Structure 1
């Protein structure tokens, strides 16, 4: 039979004798898969089609859900250090992926058992975002406040280069398990560097470990070919000027820190606004990318074009925050351009599909610029002592937006599809208005401490 719209043949059921008077049955002889684009996929191996098709979304969703672990991992980064936590997460995800792939590749098992192992593998793979966010914080804290835009830009543009490399792996492999091995091997190459990676000086300073801080600063100065007299007198004067409160205050317990944060209204407002920023920006990013994925070109080429547009957005955003617009102005400008693009897409789609593609690409450029500004701006809003936890809160809520966007797209009929653009655009307007109440951080050092006495 044909589908309900009468345009295509039904792929999941058939009439046993060819007569429309018969009762429909499931296809008894399995399915034939088109391997010309993606090659041999897990969908083909496990027949995740028809009644089993929802399991495809489990695989993608679980990868996004692993970022909720940042709610815990972020607090570990504040307690044990950026380097220690990032190293642990990276090694854990590498070993988990390695072990599960060995089992899936060479140990015979049922389809259900392999599916469960793949879900575990996907969850571990999703921790790469957690590791990246920790490294991103470390990069910002290793950089002076006047150069955080450059550091953030390098980190996120490198992310788009990684997208291109994974796309190349997928194009060459044409087999889901070979692609998994290539990605895991790529992660393994990073592990030796973890030993040489420095800890954040700001984290060490916040813990008042001054001997270790001096050792690290000397190592950084040596690497940058700075003489002792160029920095050490300044460092000594810096320590001498520290308040007695900072030098002698007792370390608070976790519960005391949590109570101080949740009872401090400015911090709570910044946390909630940051969560909404993360939710909205990533939901729009996925929404726009979801539409671009349906372009009638090679998906590999589509990803490469998207990565180039994304990199251009990151570079533009990082340049803007160094101008008079600073963090808030740059975020508001790029978010406004995103709103305009998202509102125009369903309007122009009715008249010109080609123009819609260009508007959507501009929308991806704008949302990418918005994202890089938010990724730099949000960590700067919080003191070093809670920056990892606050950033974990920000990233975790952004993943909720990433999960919701494709679900809304898949469950909305064409009649109401424009509303899936207008509602996120309206939410972004609210985010822009809330951003007006946040402080500017351009001239604020990342070592500044929050005054919890002001509420």
Structure 2
């Protein structure tokens, strides 16, 4: 806990913190869209079977007379149950009699149809190309599109566990730089992928790094900022994610080719990787891992950036050792990952945080499906969802400063659940009210996620902070994967999935209630800091 004293000595909210946060936000705006790329690069455009008389440029006008494209489509492609052209079947032979619906034809049987044996024709009015049109991921192969998205999520789950542990083992900076390089290489190569298998593999590897970088940015911002400003730092980073969502919608509208879009977002990652060498390592991690010389070097570097003069005279290795002696003594005993579950209070916190993250991710991803009812314009939807999330994060900052971590999180989680449940039982004709409630739920979900990003690191010790962050990212990934699976409950009742989405955040709010309030409290460094009476530390801080 004495690391707060060192932070005050070098400046806990100065030029360094502002530059660091600006650097993290710029990267996040271009990095977060990599999570959502398949919304556009894997979009399924309108399509129908390739038909000789309809799509062959060598067919002369004499063969089809003066028939329009709509008429040729009508005699070539059957209609589905919604009276729209079938996407996956065509007539074996042209059905010319369909041009004369008022005529009666004797001895007419049901016309024979067949699958799209010659391929498909895609509507290019919205997307000039996607991986769907590139490798024909439609009809019988449509499930392969879901496999690509699932592999990206699987990569993020694996990466959150692996890189979370490695961040606590080798430091935040080196793992963050490696992950930036991995994203740059994998997603740039994905733009030139010759096959779907190569593309899926590269996106899996990129996915294992993206959330690790975003999580490490949050930890770095929290560990270099005073308790009073942590919520603002996390809120600004979260706003950068929302800005990234809106930026992706605008960029995808301008760039309709999936390879060009992929490349445009990936090449800047090389620049960010090169820039990451100037990042400052977490001084808490350095000291807890007994790297005092490096810790002193980084502290003096931050002090100079913040304009602290004559810092070498007051900030010495002896001062550093005396200030952090208690933490250094505790850190001599190397804690293994199993200690997370052997320490009673820490174990309960980790289990509660895991469930809260999972239960928050389920309705958040469920609401994405509901928000698509705003309209068919996928670009507008992306920008709108980002804007709603942005507003929710600003509201979260206000409640964090005035209400604290725990009450704010409970409030927004309950608000998410109630908005979904009320929306579920509303009349379908009340479209404006349903859209308003869906927007309220989406904004509240973003606010709850932002508050959780502040509360969770303040509940876990420095020695395990990245590991617990990795576990929380894993929980979010499981919730994201569970959300679409819950839609299968519609076979029993069309309301059941949405009732489940509404119950999850309310349960999460109940799990937040037993967690301690951490507003304006210093970050715990060791397991003993968590296991000791938290209320006593709070009272000591008040008295001092």
TM-score by length of 2: 0.76
Give the aligned partner of residue 337 of structure 1.
415
Q: Give the structure 2 partner of residue 77 of structure 1.
A: 167
- Distance in 1 (alpha carbons) for counterparts of 2:330 and 2:506: 45
Question: Offset of 1:130 from its aligned partner?
Answer: 1.8
Equivalent residue for 2:350?
A: 271
Distance 1:7 1:151, change over 3 A: same
- Equivalent residue runs for 1:37-76 within 5 Å: 37-68=126-157, 69-76=159-166
Quote the residue 2:206 is aligned against: 125
Query: What SS is found at the alignment partner of 2:356?
Result: helix
Q: Residues of 1 paired with 2:313 and 2:486: CA distance?
A: 55
- Give the counterpart of 1:137 among 214, 219, 229: 219
**1:356 Cα offset (Å):** 1.0
* Aligned mate of 2:124, from 35, 47, 62: 35
Corresponding residue to 1:185 among 264, 267, 277: 267
Deviation track 1:328-368 (CA, whole Å, cap 9, x = no partner) reads: 01100111111111112222252312221111111111000
Instruction: Give the Cα separation in 1 of the matches to 2:294 and 2:451.
Output: 32
Query: What is the 5 A alignment of 1:8-407?
Result: 8-17=84-93, 18=95, 21-68=110-157, 69-102=159-192, 104=193, 114-126=195-207, 127-228=209-310, 232=314, 239-243=321-325, 246-247=328-329, 250-252=332-334, 257-323=336-402, 325-407=403-485
- C-alpha RMSD of matched pairs (Å): 2.4
SS in 1 for 2:521: coil
Matched residues, number? 440
Match of 2:21 in 1: none
Q: Is the 8 A contact 1:169 1:182 kept in 2?
A: no
Deviates more, 1:220-229 or 1:176-185: 220-229
Kindly indicate whether the alpha-carbon contact (under 8 Å) linking 1:202 and 1:447 is maintained by their aligned counterparts in 2. Answer: no
Q: Give, in angstroms, the shift of residue 444 of structure 1.
A: 2.5
Alignment correspondent of 1:445 = 522
Please give the secondary structure, in 2, of the residue aligned with 1:445. Answer: coil
Shift of the alpha carbon at 1:175?
Answer: 0.5
* Counterparts of 1:283 and 1:241, CA distance in 2: 44
Contact 2:131 2:258 in 1 (8 A): yes
CA separation of 1:349 and 1:281: change in aligned 2, threshold 3 A: farther
- 5+ long unaligned stretches in structure 1: none
- Residue aligned with 2:349, SS: helix
CA apart distance, 1:22: 4.9
What are the residue-to-residue correspondences of 1:426-445 with 2, within 5 Å? 426-445=503-522
Shift, 1:161, TM fit: 1.7
Change (3 A) 1:297 1:249: closer
In the superposition, relative to structure 1, how do residues 238 and 55 fare at CA in structure 2: closer, same or farther (>3 Å)?
same
Give the deviation of 1:306 after TM superposition.
1.2
TM-score by length of 1: 0.90
Q: Deviations over 1:16-67 (max 9, x none)?
A: 2457635542023322211212321111111111100001111111111111
Contact preservation (8 Å) 1:342, 1:421: yes
CA distances 1:156-198 after superposition (whole Å, capped 9, x unpaired): 1111222222222211110010011011113223122201111
- Taking the aligned partners of 1:53 and 1:326, their CA distance within structure 2 comes to 47
Which blocks of at least 5 consecutive residues in structure 2 are unaligned? 1-77, 96-107, 534-544
